[in-house]
Structures are given as structure tokens and as C-alpha cells.
Structure 1
Amino acid sequence: MRMRRHHQQDEDTGIDLTPMLDVVFIMLIFFIVTSSFIKESGVEVQRPQAGSATAQDKGNILIAVTADGQVWLDKQPVDVRSVRAHVERMRVDRPEGSVVVQADRDARTGLVVQVMDQARLAGVRDVALAASAEGR
């Protein structure tokens, strides 16, 4: 009887990418969970300058009032009378959040006051008016 000898490769010479992919997916999940998403009102306004302006981190509902009298909320123009309903709907996600009104420096004061009043009627206690710090 003749014995045959089989030459089997005991080890594969390929690289195992599974641990690297695990690390990449864990890092991706980490960055998604820890990132903060910036919400925008949908229109750029020229904010007035103020010497006492400070940064506010917790403003999560932004309302913009333009110089020509438009009110923007969640990247779309809205009627000033519907601001309350929109704010109430947006507060479902974060009930402890605040509202920041970004009024253009040439916007009518009466319209800005109406917008701030609608936000307060929606139950928001912390309504801030955005301004740029002087010298920026």
C-alpha cells in the first residue's frame, strides 16, 4: 500500500479585517451619538451688535425675523400667528429647551415682540434675542 501525502495549507495567508471593521463601526457609532446637530432657522439675518452679548448653548428652536417682515422657522417661512403652534410641536422633542429669536437689525420691533410673545404663549420660559458681540 502506498500512502499519499497531501499538501494542505494549514494557514491562510489572507489578512483578517474583522477586528478593524469592528473598531471602525464602534467609532462611527460613537461620533454619531456624541455629535451635536446645529439647527438653523433657514435664512441669514444681520444681527445687531451688543457689548453684553454672550453665547447661549441650549437654544434649540431658532426663529428668524428678516428686515422685510418675514418670519422663518425650521427653514421655512411661517405666518406670525402660527409661530405658537410650530413651537409647541417642536417642543415635544425637548420640553426643557429654549427659543432664540434671530431678528435682523432693521426688523420691525413690533413683529419681533409678537414672535417672542407667541413663543412664550407656547410655554417657553426662556426666550432670548440673538445679537453679535461688538468687535466681531
Structure 2
Amino acid sequence: MATAVTKFRCGTCGEVLGLPGETASKVVRCGKCHAVLEVPEQARVNQRRRKAQAAVGDADEVGFQLRNRRGDDEDMDLTPMVDVTFLLLIFFMITASFSLQKALEIPTPDPPNEGAAQTLTIDDLEDTSVIVRIEADGKIYVDDELLPNQDALIDRLNTIMRDDRKTDMVIEAANEVPLRTVVFVYDAGNEIDMQRIRLASPPEEG
């Protein structure tokens, strides 16, 4: 910003003299006649007024620049934040685990025979079906033979299918048997391609 200059005339030679804004002395030397002159009171008053106005102008300019700087900060680029949000969303979608619910398919009776009695006993089916009995304590019997553990079930079923030509399976489980054990036996029959798997009611006590 330009420095304010207060002008007055030399009383000796009439030369116009300028009083720069930073000059605070009450006397100046004339550049033409070299006379030492006292600065008029009015000139000093005008100089102080101009200096104060110049200071106010500088303060306004600084304030305007600060407001512009705040405006630049408020105009943020949200693109990186949006990118990070989508990456997190994709990550959680990929790593989420989905549980597969198992269900047992229970065939419904044929419509023409709905009213007819179709009760079959274990004795009626034992010639063509593998009878798998599950006791309340979790023990599994395949055709009245106790399995040493559940892992031996598939091998035992395969042996019976090969040797005895039985392609159906009947599951007879006690009322206290957990459902997961019944599902395990049912899945084993499906795994070796049993043609038909039936669920039999446990014998009534007494």
C-alpha cells in the first residue's frame, strides 16, 4: 500500500516539501535552500490522520484475506471419504458368514390314498430297508449291530447296500434323541444315495 505524504511549502524559498508517513520529527530540512524548517501543526495533524486511515485500510485487507482462507477450508473434497466408505462396505459384505439352515423333507401322502390306512411296521420293512435305531443315550444300531462311533455309519451303510442289496433306510429314534443326531443319520443316507429314507415312530413303552 502507498505511503501517505503530507505536503507544505518552505517559508524561505517557497519550495513544496513532502512529509512522509513514517516521519515523526517536528523539523525538516528544505531540499532546495537547505533551510531548517519547523513542520506546521496542521501538517502534523493531517499526517497523523492519514497514517491512521492507512492502518485501518491495512486491517480491512487482512480481515478480507482471512475470510477467504476460511472459505477455502470449508470447501472440502469428500471423494476420498466416500471411497473409504465403499471399500469398508465391500469388505464386510465379502467377509460376512452366512449360516445354512438344514431341513428334513418329509414326503406327504399321495392324494388318492389319503384316507387309506398305510401303517407299516419295522418288520414289514426290514427285508428291503436298512433299519437305523438311535437310542436315548445316543448309541446307533444299524440292523441291530452297535456302531463303535458315528463316523463308522457311512461305511456300515455302504457295506449293507453292497452285500444285502438294501436301497431304503428307516430311522427309528427315541423321543429323547437330539434332532442333530437324526439329521446326521439322514444326511449319511443321502450321501450314499439311499433311494428312500423313512422316519419311524419309536415303539410305545409299556
Which TM-score applies when normalising by structure 1? 0.52
Within 5 Å, give how 1:53-68 maps onto structure 2. Answer: 54-55=119-120, 57-58=124-125, 59-68=128-137
What's the offset of the Cα at 1:81? 1.6
Within 5 Å, give how 1:23-42 maps onto structure 2. Answer: none
Q: Residue 72 in 1 paired to residue 141 in 2?
A: yes
Q: Alignment partner of 2:162: what SS?
A: coil
What's the offset of the Cα at 1:77? 1.9
Q: Output the CA distance in 1 between the equivalents of 2:180 and 2:192.
A: 18
Within 5 Å, give how 1:105-124 maps onto structure 2. Answer: 105-124=175-194
Q: Is the 8 A contact 1:53 1:132 kept in 2?
A: no
Q: Alignment partner of 1:61: what SS?
A: strand
For structure 1, the residue ranges without an aligned partner over 5 or more in a row are: 1-51
| Structure 1 counterpart of 2:134, one-letter code | V
Query: Judging changes above 3 Å, is the alpha-carbon distance between structure 1 residues 94 and 106 closer, same or farther for their aligned structure 2 residues?
Result: same
Q: Residue 83 in 1 paired to residue 153 in 2?
A: yes
Q: Which residue of 1 aligns with 2:94?
A: none
Q: Residue 100 in 1 paired to residue 170 in 2?
A: yes
Larger radius of gyration: 2
After the TM superposition, list the runs of 4 or more consecutive aligned residues in structure 1 that deviate by more than 6 angstroms.
none
* Identity within the alignment, %: 19
Q: Identify the structure with the greater helix proportion.
A: 2
Q: Output the CA distance in 1 between the equivalents of 2:190 and 2:132.
A: 13
Q: Alignment partner of 2:186: what SS?
A: helix
- C-alpha root-mean-square deviation of aligned residues, in Å? 2.7
What's the offset of the Cα at 1:53? 7.0
Q: Output the CA distance in 1 between the equivalents of 2:139 and 2:182.
A: 10
For structure 2, the residue ranges without an aligned partner over 5 or more in a row are: 1-116
Which TM-score applies when normalising by structure 2? 0.36
Q: Which residue of 1 aligns with 2:91?
A: none
Q: Is the 8 A contact 1:88 1:123 kept in 2?
A: no
Q: Is the 8 A contact 1:62 1:73 kept in 2?
A: yes
Aligned pair count? 84
Q: Which has the higher contact order (CA 8 A, sep 6+)?
A: 1
Q: Alignment partner of 1:92: what SS?
A: helix
Query: Judging changes above 3 Å, is the alpha-carbon distance between structure 1 residues 71 and 132 closer, same or farther for their aligned structure 2 residues?
Result: closer
